[in-house]
Structure 1
Amino acid sequence: MSLKENVDFVKNELDSEEKFLESFVKLERFYKKYKILLIILLVVIIATFIGFNVKNYFDNQNKIKANIAFEKVLKNFNDKNAFKTLEESNKKLYQVALYLKAKDEGKTANVDVMFFDSLSKYKKALEDKNLSELNEVSMQRDFLLKEFALFNKALLEATNGKYNDAKATLKLIPKESKVNELVKILNHYLLTK
């Protein structure tokens, strides 16, 4: 019985070694058959990794360059070199710098940056006392000062004698708004009109 067990053990060992060699041979055949494709795939993966890292490096350098130029612009709005560098490296930051320069000079700038373009339009509408522009800006869904713009619209309407329009505009401002105290004051004035 012991001899039989030993023979079975040796058979099992030989079978497992045979299976191992068989799988190794299959792997070698697969490698030989697809050797060029595997090398190409490896080169593409390595090139992609290197390209991604190089792109990130240059993007970071560009951000640093833009931030330095923006800092120079903030210190001196007349620095044409900093404005040029900013325009070349970061268009949105350049637009913000234009907005800040115009604001510093007491002008309005047409910029194409989220929130700043709305603020410019809002400021221009208030300066011109243009109700249609003020209405357009205040009805934008993502405008930061929406309630304040609505209040100013109602104030302009009341100033122009359009009391019913002013009352209707004030109703658009939610009760939980931070402008609500001003709304109450204007509503109190409009009660007599």
Structure 2
Amino acid sequence: MSIKENVDYVKSELTSEEKFLENFVKGERFFKKYKTLIIAFIVIIVIGIIAFFIKNNIAESNKIEANIAFNKVLENSKDSKALEVLKDKNPQLYNVALFLQAQDEGKAIDINVPMLKELAKYQTALTNNDIAQLDNLSMQNDFLLKEFAIFNKALLLTNEGKFNEAKTTLALIPQTSKAFELAKLLNHYLLTK
């Protein structure tokens, strides 16, 4: 190699080292300038991760305690300690327990779980032979037992001797429904009326 090539090589090496040192100094200045913000950001992230895991652990613990309490309520519906645990740990499961307890006692209860609320209304309407309430329930598109409510309405109408109304009511039950077989049987009976 010639001296000129050696000099150019040394210059290029010095230039890359200078650039490296310059970037290092810039990075150090940036870190010193924003040191508290960087440390605060890291601390916030660490605390957030820890809080997330603690929250999940507490939620899982509450779920397990609520399930144990619910099992106790299923075994003994009068277990007030288990009901209190359910009330604190899982209000929806508490409402389900109250619903089951009221069913065992043959009482009606006002609950906040939508499906159980509708089911309680349905049972009350059947118990009271309330055609208007069954009609209201059957008009709700998202009611779980819609077709059975329609069938029971037709059955009550049949018992009252309103055969034509019962036939039109039964026509509302689609063929894909689980209640369709019952509707067919009632329709056969209504053919003679």
TM-score normalised per structure 1 = 0.90
**Percent identity over the alignment?**
57
Between the aligned partners of 1:15 and 1:167, the Cα distance in structure 2 is: 97
Task: Kindly indicate whether residue 68 of structure 2 is the aligned counterpart of residue 62 of structure 1.
Answer: no
Q: Cα offset for 1:18?
A: 2.1
Q: Cα offset for 1:188?
A: 2.1
* 1:12/1:166 CA distance change after superposition, 3 Å: farther
Between the aligned partners of 1:2 and 1:151, the Cα distance in structure 2 is: 105
One-letter code aligned to 1:136: N
Task: Kindly indicate whether residue 166 of structure 2 is the aligned counterpart of residue 166 of structure 1.
Answer: yes
Q: Deviations over 1:115-149 (max 9, x none)?
A: 21111110000000101111222222322222111
One-letter code aligned to 2:191: L
Q: Which residue of 2 aligns with 1:126?
A: 126
Between the aligned partners of 1:2 and 1:141, the Cα distance in structure 2 is: 92
Q: Cα offset for 1:16?
A: 2.2
Between the aligned partners of 1:134 and 1:180, the Cα distance in structure 2 is: 17
Q: Deviations over 1:137-169 (max 9, x none)?
A: 222232222211111111112222333332222
The more displaced of 7-16 and 49-58 is: 7-16
Match of 2:57, SS? helix
Structure 2 unaligned spans of 5+: none
One-letter code aligned to 1:39: I
Between the aligned partners of 1:2 and 1:172, the Cα distance in structure 2 is: 102
One-letter code aligned to 2:103: K
The more displaced of 146-155 and 99-108 is: 99-108
RMSD: 1.9
Q: Which residue of 1 aligns with 2:188?
A: 188
Which aligned pairs between 1:43-82 and structure 2 lie closer than 5 A? 43-82=43-82
The more displaced of 109-118 and 68-77 is: 109-118
Structure 1 unaligned spans of 5+: none
Q: Which residue of 1 aligns with 2:137?
A: 137
Q: Which residue of 1 aligns with 2:148?
A: 148
